[in-house]
Every structure is written in C-alpha cells, then in structure tokens.
Amino acid sequence: MKTALLWFILIISTLSIHAQVLVKASVDKDAILIGEPVKLMLDARMPLGAQVSWFRIDSIPNFELIDKGKVDTVQGVDGKKVQQVITITSYDSGYRVIPPLTLKVGNTTYSTDSVGVNVNYTPYNPDADYRDIKEIEEVPNPSSGAIPWIIGAVTLLAVAAIVWMLLPKKKKELPVAPKAPELTPYDEAIHALDALKQKGWPQLSESKIFYTQLNDVLRVFVMRKLKISSLEKTNDELTRALIVLKPDAEQFSQMSHALQIADYVKFAKYTPGDAENEQNFNSIRSAITTLNNLT
C-alpha cells in the first residue's frame, strides 16, 4: 500500500513539473529590410530545481547570426525563468521562417513555435536622384589649437563680405553658360562602365562593391532607355522582364549568368577571379549595346 502511494506521489509530481514548463520564441519586429538586424527572444519558464539543457543555436536557415547574447536566469517563488536575446539578419528577400527550436528540461524535450519574418528590399522612390556608390574618404581631425585661428579667419571673411555687399556696384549682365548636353542612356552607361574598368578588377574584399556598381549600371540603363522600373526588381525579375524583347540568345545567356554571379557575390559571399570578373563585365557591356540597338 505504501509503495503504491509513493508511486502515485512521484507520478503526480512529475506531471506537475511538466505542466509548469513553458518555452517561447518571438521577434521584436516581423518585417525588416535586407541586412537589417532583428532580435530573436528565447524564453523558458520551469519549476525551481529543474535541470535545463538550453537551446544550442549555431545556425538558422535563411538567417545569419550577428550576436548571441548571454543566457540570463532569474529564480523566484513561482519558479525559474531563463532568457536569451539573439541578434540575427537575412540577405534573402521574401517571407522567411525561423523553425521550431528545442531544449530539454530534465529528460523531456520542448519546442518553440515557428516565427515568420518578412524580408524586403528598400522601397523604390522613382523621384529620387540616382546615386552611385562612393568610396569611403578619411577626413583628418584638425588640431584643437587651430580652432581659434579658424574662427578668427571666418569672422574676418564675414566682415569683409558684408562690407563688399554694402558698396555700390555697377550692374553687369553675366554671360549665360551654355547648358551641357545631356548624355543618352547608352552613352551614360558606357561612360560609367569605362570609369569602373579604369579602377581595375577588384581585390577579394572589393568584389561586392564592384558587382553592385556593375549591376546598377545595367539597371539605370534599362530604366532610362527601356522605361522599365528596374531598380526595385530582383535580378531574376529583371531577366524575365528583358527576355520579352527577344535579344540575342547567346548574349542574353551571358548577361543572365553575370547577374547570377552578382547575386552570389552580394548574398552568398562568392569571390570570382580576375578572368571571371572580366568575362562578366564584358557580358554586361555587350548586353547594354544589344538592348540599345533593339529599340
């Protein structure tokens, strides 16, 4: 009789412990831009004294780990609370799902619900000016001892400018500078490609910048020449939009391959060699010339 009673108490205690375990995964925002960080919050509640084997997260499909925060444990009269905040991001556009994550409390495995995040490109603004990518420039830090001299010089120049403005002047008709002729979409694209080529083929750390600029030259040409909203399209969407123009099959295939390599470089950290860089550059240049001659 005593043995049965002990077994009954043990079963009830075990069920009670299991009933008090709660695991949860959540994110601080369900929509981000490509490369924007999002915080994944892991939370587990359990009875005091319960042994926990925490989530082991080395990778998450479609996401990259930025920072794995420390695991915090708080104990109170109502049980034990364990939390961790992990910062992640994604370079793949679309609806991305963080799959269920598992941990063990005692000998029982528990899983979180899956969490979805929408990953989008930056919204396209057709009214904004096109801006090319520029290199980082280092600005020297002026010595603090020169600041008074700079302030004094600026003050003198301001006084001189005021005096000059107050003096009477003879009105002159200024010659109107001739307006520089606007480049055609084709000439602008070729000029941009020549400037890019003059920099030489990129080093390993510069491949992403090189292919981003090469990709942008094609996108701007297509937007100006063919009136296709290319800046907000993915490379796959851009390829499908251009194939309806029925360009030369071989050149179109080479252009499509160059755009795929650009995606690999930007999102999969692929690093092509000089020969492949030159081939992809020439493919984009030939595609621009072909598209220009089609219309």
279: its two tokens:
């081939």
**Residue 173 confidence (pLDDT):** 58
**Mean pLDDT throughout 243-272?**
80
Burial 189-220 (b: 16+ CB within 10 A, else e): bbebbeebeeeebbeeeebbbbbebbbbbbbb
26: its two tokens:
């959540």
Lowest mean pLDDT among 36-50, 104-118, 228-242: 228-242
pLDDT greater than 70 at residue 127? no
- Among 282, 283, 135, which Cα is nearest to 209's? 135
Residue 13 — very low, low, confident or very high, per pLDDT cuts 50/70/90?
very low
Task: Give the contacts of 293 (CB within 8 A, at least 6 positions apart).
Answer: none
**Mean pLDDT throughout 153-165?**
84
Share of the chain above pLDDT 70, in %: 81
Residue located via tokens 């009214």 = 127
pLDDT greater than 90 at residue 87? yes
**Which three-class secondary structure state does DSSP give residue 248?**
coil
Q: 156: exposed, middle or buried (C-beta count within 10 Å: 0-12, 13-18, 19+)?
A: exposed
* Angstrom distance (rounded) from CA 291 to CA 256: 13
**Mean pLDDT throughout 18-40?**
88
In this predicted model, which residue has the larger pLDDT, 140 or 15? 140
**Residue 22 confidence (pLDDT):** 92
**Residue 10 confidence (pLDDT):** 46
In this predicted model, which residue has the larger pLDDT, 289 or 135? 289
**Mean pLDDT throughout 7-17?**
45
Model confidence pLDDT, tens digit, residues 233-249: 888 888 888 777 777 77
**Mean pLDDT throughout 109-119?**
92
**Residue 16 confidence (pLDDT):** 45
Q: Which of 163-177, 179-193, 206-220 has the highest mean pLDDT?
A: 206-220
Q: Where are the domains of the chain?
A: 19-120, 185-294
- Residue 100's H or E segment, with its range, is none
In this predicted model, which residue has the larger pLDDT, 7 or 178? 178
**Residue 248 confidence (pLDDT):** 76
Question: DSSP assignment of 186-246, as one string?
Answer: HHHHHHHHHHHHHT-S--GGGHHHHHHHHHHHHHHHHHHHH----TTS-HHHHHHHHHTT-
pTM of the complete model? 0.40
**Residue 189 confidence (pLDDT):** 86
For residues 32 and 120, is the Cβ–Cβ distance under 8 A?
yes
Neighbouring C-alpha atoms within 13 Å toward the C-beta of 32: 22
Lowest mean pLDDT among 73-77, 207-211, 244-248: 244-248
Lowest mean pLDDT among 41-55, 182-196, 265-279: 265-279
Residue 122 — very low, low, confident or very high, per pLDDT cuts 50/70/90?
confident
**Residue 263 confidence (pLDDT):** 82
* Angstrom distance (rounded) from CA 50 to CA 70: 20
* Angstrom distance (rounded) from CA 291 to CA 221: 9
Q: How does the average pLDDT of the chain come out, rounded?
A: 81
**Residue 274 confidence (pLDDT):** 87
**Residue 76 confidence (pLDDT):** 82
CA 123 centroid distance within chain: 13
CA distances from 38 to 89, 108, 112 (A): 6, 30, 18
Across the strands, what pairs with 94? 119
CATH code of the domain occupying 19-120: 2.60.40.10
**Mean pLDDT throughout 109-124?**
87
For residue 127, give the amino acid letter.
Answer: D
- Among 238, 194, 195, which Cα is nearest to 215's? 238
